[in-house]
Homo-oligomer: A and B are copies of this chain.
Amino acid sequence: LNGDFQATQRLARYVVESDPEDVPHDVRHEAARSLVNWLACGLGGSRHEAIQRAVAALRPFAGPPQATLIGRRDRFDVLHAALLNGMSAHVLDFDDTHLRTLVHPSVPVASSLLALSERQSISGCDFIHAFVLGVEVECRIANAIYASHNVSGYITGTAGVFGAAAAASRVLGLSAQHMTWALGIAATQAAGLREMAGTMSKSFVHGRAAQNGLVAALLAQKGFTSSERSIEAPRGFARVLAGVSELEALTAGLGERFELSLNTYKPYACGVVCHPVIDACIALGKQLACDPTEIEFISLRVHPLALKLTGIKKPSSGLESKWSIYHSSAVALVDRVAGEHQYSDERLNDPCVSALRDKVTAEADTALADDAAHVTIALRSGRTLEHYVEHATGSVARPMSDAALEQKFLTLADGVLARSQLTALLETCWQVERLDDVSSLARLSTPAEI
């Protein structure tokens, strides 16, 4: 690549010039699946303590009640709604994953777009198109940086802000020049540290990406200027945040394939790199005829990233236990599921789960794929059980079905909205492209007046 490579401007031009007809049907259907999963997580997370505290802290400073908070009666200004809905949709660590980079694509893009839809009318067709384009930009940026960036900064915080900016800029109808500035204003807000895992600040990083990307688009709309080479310049985003100067991945094959096709949804409420181990432990738990106290030890062989990202041996809270492959395997073996309840303080401190957790050892095996795992259980009796998972449930090779996504939606949203409202909302999500105005989706996501 020569020094004149204009990655930022090329991405901006692509987003401005893309035609909705260019997006294949299966990609648009994947967008609807992402929307179902994002709303499921947003509804499920909407009463989390992290959201309660953030709402209490920010309420006195919020603007007009322009936009819905998913799953809540509160209304906030559009910018705070993007933040808080992004936080709700991520706080359970149950949202979608672009597995190659571990970006969570929907939170920044969908949270900013839905909030904006309550300020200006956006058709379902335009919403899905802008969503696909926003995910494309954020995942391409993630592809360019993830190898050097992933284990340090939070990639959804840093790449996601571009996705939110691109999607919002598209529905605002910005020119390529203004969209280039929006990407620059996004770049200079790119932030987030993996050190936040297991604390409320993790969801904040993700919600901020949605809000900051939206602010970038709104500033650029008014002619607020920025660098026009914010991604690729020597002092730009890619080199400063990730040390990357080879940026072909940003534009190679642009418009010919869609990163959204690689989106995946979690069947389990924890870090995605744990999932193959959970599959194995659920299978072994079903085979296990004996009491868990009969287990001598549990030995995991996993992809190295699983230990890097979920290596917390003794989690101190339910939230932190989502980042523990040790807790995940113990609780999955006992409960034979791994939903939100398995990552509660209660299950974390359960004596049986806790005793089993101490018997888990894990080793990294570079020969394993990142969606594969091998688990061995040794019993006091001398017997051993083994299970190998080639592809985890919810991986690209073994995706969750539409029906499984619906079930996840209904389970997470249970008690937040009335059952009849949930089925109407699901139906609207699947048919989103037929909506004249997607703000009806937002209205359906808030509890009806009693």
Give me the interface of A with B, judged by CB distance under 8 Å. 50, 53-54, 56-58, 60-64, 66, 77-80, 119, 151-154, 157, 181, 184-185, 187-196, 199-201, 204-205, 208, 215, 218-219, 221-227, 229-230, 233-237, 239-240
Contact = CB atoms under 8 A, between A and B. Distances in A.
B188 A196 contact: yes
Nearest to A151: B235
A323 B119 CA distance: 39
B226 A199 contact: yes
Contact of A229 (B80, B192, B195, B219): B195
Residue among A181, A192, A193, A236 with the highest chain B CB neighbour number at 10 A: A193
A194 B235 contact: yes
Nearest to A189: B191
Contacts of A181: 201
Contacts of A191: 188-191
What 3 A-B pairs have minimum CB-CB distances, sorted nearest first? A191-B191, A201-B226, A57-B222
Task: Tell me how many chains of this kind the complex includes.
Answer: 2
Given A61-B63, A191-B191, A199 B225 contact: yes
Given A54-B219, A193-B227, A195-B235, 12 more contacts: A56-B222, A62-B63, A152-B240, A190-B191, A193-B236, A193-B237, A193-B240, A194-B235, A194-B240, A195-B233, A195-B240, A200-B226
Nearest to A319: B225
Nearest to A234: B195
A58 B218 CA distance: 8
A236 B63 contact: no
B225 A195 contact: no
Contacts of A215: 57-58
A108 B77 CA distance: 25
B188 A201 contact: yes
Given A224-B57, A240-B152, A184 B208 contact: no
A218 B57 contact: yes
Best-surrounded residue of A187, A192, A200, A240 (most CB of chain B within 10 A): A240
A309 B430 CA distance: 52
Contacts of A227: 193, 195-196, 199, 201
A236 B205 CA distance: 14
B57 A195 contact: no
Nearest to A59: B63
B223 A53 contact: yes
A252 B379 CA distance: 53
A173 to B, nearest CB: 15
Given A57-B219, A224-B53, A195 B187 contact: yes
A207 to B, nearest CB: 11
